[in-house]
Amino acid sequence: QVQLVQSGAEVKKPGSSVKVSCKASGGTFSSYAINWVRQAPGQGLEWMGGIIPIFGTANYAQKFQGRVSITADESTSTAYMELGSLRSEDAAVYYCAREGGVTGIFDYWGQGTLVTVSS
Amino acid sequence: QSVLTQPPSVSGAPGQRVTISCTGSNSNIGTDYDVHWYQQLPGAAPKLLIYINNIRPSGVPDRFSGSKSGTSASLAITGLQAEDEADYYCQSYDSSLSAYVFGTGTKVTVL
């Protein structure tokens, strides 16, 4: 059974960066894309970007271009999402999600990581 | 601003049938990109409910069904149960944005 376990909650100051990890187990890590989706309090889901570890190249939603970096470490089956220049609007729960065998299907999700942005 | 529009809420009594619409455009659903649906229980991560328009993953009750036509898709829940009270999101791909997009989300309330 595939499991995605994310790092713990973070409190960050405006202007700083946050890096969230997502460790996969129970499946073939390298061949499946890992995507990042965020959810602001009381709001809907928003796709940020994703990476296929075996290729190593990430693609990002235009909204986050230049501010987000998604990477993957095949040796530890861990994906990372780093978001910089944090502002109050970035306060959200950040989820990683595995993209299954067919493109665009997010079949397994992490438990979510709460990021608070406060001075 | 999501490009897939859903009704904010729907409600029904136990045992009833409810439907949730997901309206897109010619750059996403209308371009034949598949639609997937997720259920998000309170305080939990989303869970895949329907994929490729109308396929249920193993373990999802057959009370849930999906369909797609033109630039819209729908999720139907028949025999509504208290445990179905959750937020539901549709998801597809948008070629204009070159991005995966989610619907605005629908809260289902069981009366």
Q: What's the pLDDT score for residue A100?
A: 84
Mean pLDDT value across residues B90-94: 96
d(CA A83, CA A103): 25
Is the per-residue pLDDT at A29 higher than 90? no
Give the model's pLDDT for residue B89. 98
Cβ-defined contact of A104 to B45 (cutoff 8 Å): no
Compute the average pLDDT of residues B7-34.
Answer: 96
Q: What is the mean pLDDT of residues A58-64?
A: 95
Mutation pick from A35, A105, A108, A113 vs chain B, by most beta carbons of B within 10 Å, is A105
Q: What is the 3-state secondary structure (H, E, C) of B46-107?
A: CEEEEECCCECCCCCCCCEEEEEECCEEEEEECCCCHHHCEEEEEEEEECCCCEEEEECCEE
Q: Is the pLDDT assigned to residue A101 strictly greater than 90?
A: no
Q: How far is B48 from chain A (nearest CA, A)?
A: 6
The two tokens of residue A57 are 């190249």
Q: Is the pLDDT of residue A79 over 70?
A: yes
Checking if the pLDDT of A31 tops 90, the result is no
Do A95 and B45 make contact, defined as CB atoms within 8 angstroms? yes
Q: Mean per-residue pLDDT for A9-35?
A: 94
- Check CB contact under 8 Å for A45 and B46: yes
Answer whether residue B1 shows pLDDT above 70: no
Q: How many CA atoms lie within 13 A of B63 on its CB side?
A: 14
**CB contact (8 A) between residue A45 and residue B52:** no
Among A46, A49, A104, A59, which residue's Cα sits nearest to residue B3? A46
Residue A104 gets which letter from DSSP? T
Chain B residues at the A interface, defined by Cβ less than 8 Å, are 2, 33-34, 36, 38, 45-48, 51-52, 57, 89, 91-93, 97-105
Contact B102 A102 (CB under 8 A): no
The answer to whether the CB atoms of A104 and B98 lie below 8 A apart is no
pLDDT higher than threshold 80 for residue A102: no
Give the residue on A whose Cα is nearest the Cα of B45: A111
> Cβ separation of A47 and B101 shorter than 8 Å?
yes
Angstrom distance (rounded) from CA A82 to CA A19:
4
Q: What is the pLDDT of residues B27-84, one digit of tens each?
A: 999 998 999 999 999 999 999 999 999 999 999 999 999 999 999 999 999 999 999 9
Nearest residue of chain B to residue A35 (CA atoms): B100
